[in-house]
Amino acid sequence: MTTRVLLYEDNPELRMSLSALIRFSENLELLAAFENCSGVAEHIEEFQPDIVLADIDMPEVNGIEGLKIIRKIRPELPVVMLTVFDDNDHVLDAIMNGATGYILKQHLTTRLGSAIEEALEGGAPMSPLVARMVLNHLNARNHKADQYGLTQREKEILKSLTDGNSYKMIANRLGITHGTVSTHIKSIYEKLGVHSQAEAVGKTLREGIV
């Protein structure tokens, strides 16, 4: 069965090279290739792709903005980002906005086919260097939480609080009483040096505590 691919890449030479690579692949069909994501909503509707490949850094509407649009209209559609290794912040931004996978551009000729197959099977294809960067980021976040001396239960409650859940919802999810939640949250406030839920959530998001 042929996989229908939509491509976004602003570099003309790389776009042509990738287009040729996809066209010559036995199981892939290139639907269209564009220099940015300015018309991505219309493209998704018109072409109905099985997967999207998008450069992260493009003029006008970049890959991350395009990803946000795609997630609103086709939440389940695999979107694999194309990146360079010094694009750390953008890669992490793409992760938080629901990208399916990330391939370094220098690995495209050898990894593209297997990455597409992996993404379609529900996996999250990543070049090794990108995977290491993501792991380092997660380790740094865990270390940040440890610096504040948060217990595992406090981390769970803070994460749930950051997700927008009420005390009652947190209590129900964790199988504890409303009073116990209040006690843990008071301890969290003291350890973080904040005085309200808004301050706690803001600090958590800014510093990547959980």
**In the chain, where does DSSP find H-type helix?**
12-23, 40-47, 63-73, 88-96, 108-120, 128-147, 152-162, 167-174, 178-192, 197-207
Q: What is the architecture, at CATH level 2, of domain 148-207?
A: Orthogonal Bundle (1.10)
pLDDT at 88: 62
pTM value is: 0.62
pLDDT at 153: 93
| Structure tokens belonging to residue 17 | 């090279």
The ranges assigned to domains in the chain are 3-136, 148-207
pLDDT at 39: 92
pLDDT at 89: 64
In whole angstroms, give the CA distance from residue 114 to residue 124.
Answer: 11
In whole angstroms, give the CA distance from residue 16 to residue 111.
Answer: 17
pLDDT digits (tens, 9 = 90+) for 121-162: 877 777 666 666 666 666 666 666 667 888 989 989 988 888
Residues of the chain with pLDDT under 50: none
pLDDT at 110: 83
Q: What is the architecture, at CATH level 2, of domain 3-136?
A: 3-Layer(aba) Sandwich (3.40)
